[in-house]
Amino acid sequence: MDFDMNEANKEMLRNYINMARPMEEMFSVKGKTAIVTGATSGLGFNIALRLLQGGANVVISGSSQTKGDYTIPILAEAGFGPDRVVFCRTNVTKEEDVENLVKTADKAFGSVDIYVNSAAVWSYAHIYDMPAEEFRRVMDTNVNGAFLCIKHVSKYMIAHEIPGKITLISSNAAWLPYPVFGGYPHYTASKGGVNALAIEAAKELKRFGIMVNVVAPGGMVTAGASSNMCVKELSEEKQDEFYEELMVWQNDGTQPVDTVAIVAYAMSTPMSDGMTGEIVVADGGMSHNIVKYQAAIDQYPEQID
């Protein structure tokens, strides 16, 4: 009997239909448990909110107990009570704190299905003025902290045979240095490290069904971004000089935080089942110089012939 390609294709099409999960399931995290670090302000808070709206139980963490104490009531006002969200004070650079964070999620909700790393710090100084200790401080939180969280979250997922989702928040600053004249080599180096860490973790964890990806935004208006200052060791003159440079911006504004939070949410859903080791750039076109307008910039300092 001759092979009939059309009959084979019809059978394949029927199989596609049978295997297709309902679309609402593809964008849902209902019944899942998520941990979000850096979740008491800015992007981390928005991600936690979106996960709660999507049906997940969420453990929010941050290094400040004070922030945790007012963040939980604010979420309660929005309809998310202690049966859905709890706070765990966590210094992500301390392994015992990270271990406790995972234990808190297990105790509160009985699982860890989703982890989003949004904890990060930075400050401003040119590389020739950067104190070595400040460089180490930023790398410790942004890279070592991400490592410790991936380590203990993935151990839990492997032990409980959970095909989990891990999403790290990076930045397009890893390949697109800004402000105009630079100013945070420690932050850009740390975000490059986060990208590389995610790819390696994805390689190691795929056999356990754990998918690891990165979301890389551009500049956003957050409490952290608004309060970050020059490295305190810089002289007043150096700080004034840097802030003058900082006022010369090279793109057409900052993106809304929620546009990035939505992407991080999507990476936590079955929609991203076919993705791991990816860096999803959510910077509104900034990396491609896609802008509404380009302000005129005088060269600074003046060119030396």
Task: Give the residue-averaged pLDDT of 242-250.
Answer: 59
Digit-coded pLDDT (tens) for 101-134: 999 999 999 999 999 999 999 888 889 888 899 9
Is 41 in contact with 222 (CB distance < 8 Å)?
yes
Where does the pLDDT of residue 303 fall: very low under 50, low under 70, confident under 90, or very high at 90 and above? low
Helices (H), 220-286: 223-227, 236-246, 257-267
Which of the residues 61, 191, 268, 272 is marked catalytic?
191
What percentage of residues in the chain have a pLDDT greater than 90? 71
- Encoding tokens for residue 201? 């973790």
CA–CA dist 28, 278 (Å, integer) = 21
184 is known as an active-site residue = yes
Phi, psi of 287 (to 5 degrees): -65, -25
Residue 246 above 70 pLDDT? no
Query: What is the predicted pLDDT for the residue at 233?
Result: 73
Which of the residues 63, 170, 171, 190 is marked catalytic?
170
64 is known as an active-site residue = no
Which one is predicted more confidently, 88 or 184?
88
Q: Domains in the chain and their CATH numbers?
A: 29-282 (3.40.50.720)
Which of the residues 184, 190, 265, 272 is marked catalytic?
184
Query: What is the predicted pLDDT for the residue at 181?
Result: 63
Is 234 in contact with 125 (CB distance < 8 Å)?
yes
Digit-coded pLDDT (tens) for 12-67: 999 999 999 999 999 999 999 999 999 999 999 999 999 999 999 999 999 999 99
155 is known as an active-site residue = no
